[in-house]
Structure 1
């Protein structure tokens, strides 16, 4: 067995200075970043090169400085070591930084909003596990009593509960290069019942005396988008979810205006922790964009 007392170690402060030089493009700016003098930074790198690595880490060509092959190798390890060092300190000093959060969200918002939210959250809370449960708003409302901590749901304007994240127009959408909206009866691709977008769309067409049929029905926005993109039907969903290759139909196309919708954040009573509150803050911020 190897005697660990014989292994040479690398001071993480030397690694921090080394990474700062790479990230800031030179010794002067790195010195400011690590709050040391330039001469102190130079001495640290000299010590790292001569006493620890015993290889040059930088090549200098005039005023240009670049990493040697050994420097590139060390950079990868240095970043990992510093990340683990910071992670260990966070866990030991702030035990609330670990845990699990369970969030419910309709399929509608997964691709549009969730990637940015989860990315920013993971940068602040790297050790918190996030369980994402995708389901329609009606199902999430019924599951809000215990097996979810947070839920993002769609509500009619004036019937909101929870915290309003944003209000959005409900619009008619069709593929740019197709015209199923000229057909009679009008082919529709709508979310499954119960869905107020579906109800409002059907009621609005009925009031306008427009014949229609629900040709495609699904709980998945991705499925409805595929149907619309193929030119098979017209659909209705929120303006923020309209993707390139689709256009919005208005009154000039013979389509009545639809009521706006609200996206709200629900918090399960009794579900409180720094991690849950942290994810809620990131969700609120994420829906501003």
Structure 2
């Protein structure tokens, strides 16, 4: 039977920090180690443990090799399981309620996997999900965790991911060629709607709000049968729809920063555990 060296979880934590931060110095600050200590850890990992090159160095910037990308996927999974083991065994009877707020579109796209994993780790914790616009959620003080959309440069909280808004319409339809362009959008206080309308105004492209709803499912239903064009995060575009852009005469839309806000007055181990699941879920 072959015997392999084990990889310490702290080494994996440092490796993930380097991948996330893009360099040894910032990663060292994140894991509370000096740059030289981080470099030594990674040298041993590459040369003595795995015998594989994990990094490509370009000045101060560090990129992962193909082997490094493979390890990164395993490292994230190992660290997640490591955290779940300790949290579950140290708090075997963790019970209570966690209140989270999120826009409807993120609830449909990301929450199923997040809540499934959390329920397996903490089956006795009740999760309340409140779906409202980012503007409304930012004003609430009764939520433990809040997921909101912000413009780059105006972020607050912890960055979960950045993604571009895109225009989309049903395959086989050319609604973007109509004047005015019919839109299906969220209600008036949604960042996405504001950014889309501002972009069309700046491009002097006539439009009308043909359908509006607080529900992503309702919006996509109208778009899917060829009644309107919408603007959504690229990851929300479903089969049967096509992304359209500047080549079709539609203006470029901005990047969105998806942020996680934590209520400083309601911190607890179970809230922290759900926050970790949310961070991991938005990476996928």
**TM tier relative to shorter chain:** 0.5 to 0.7
The structure having more radius of gyration, on CA atoms, is 1
Other-structure match for 1:6: none
Secondary structure of residue in 2 paired with 1:247? strand
Runs of 4+ in structure 1 displaced over 2 angstroms?
93-96
Q: Determine the C-alpha separation between the residues in 2 that align with 1:130 and 1:214.
A: 35
Q: Secondary structure at the match of 1:111?
A: helix
Which ranges of structure 1 fall in alignment gaps of 5 or more residues? 1-89
SS at 1:168's partner residue? strand
The two structures, once aligned, show a CA RMSD in angstroms of: 1.5
Partner of 1:125: 122
**Structure 1 residues 130-168: Cα deviation after superposition (integer angstroms, max 9, x where no partner):** 11111111111111x1x2110111111111111010000
Find the partner of 2:166 among 135, 158, 171: 171
Question: Aligned-pair distance for 1:109?
Answer: 1.1
2:275 to 274, 280, 283: 280
Which aligned pairs between 1:74-153 and structure 2 lie closer than 5 A? Answer: 94=91, 97-143=94-140, 145=141, 147-153=142-148
Counterparts of 1:126 and 1:134, CA distance in 2 = 22
**Runs of 5+ in structure 2 lacking a partner?**
1-87
> Do the aligned residues in 1 keep the contact of 2:100 with 2:144 (CA within 8 Å)?
yes
Q: 1:1-289 counterparts in 2 under 5 A?
A: 94=91, 97-143=94-140, 145=141, 147-289=142-284
Q: CA deviation at 1:103?
A: 0.8
Q: TM-score, normalised by structure 2?
A: 0.67
- CA drift of 1:239 comes to 0.5
* Superposed displacement of residue 202, structure 1: 1.4
Query: Contact conserved, 2:176 with 2:250, CA < 8 A, in 1?
Result: no
**8 Å contact kept, 2:134–2:191:** no
TM-score under structure 1 length normalisation: 0.66
Tell me the distance in 1 between the aligned counterparts of 2:93 and 2:134.
30
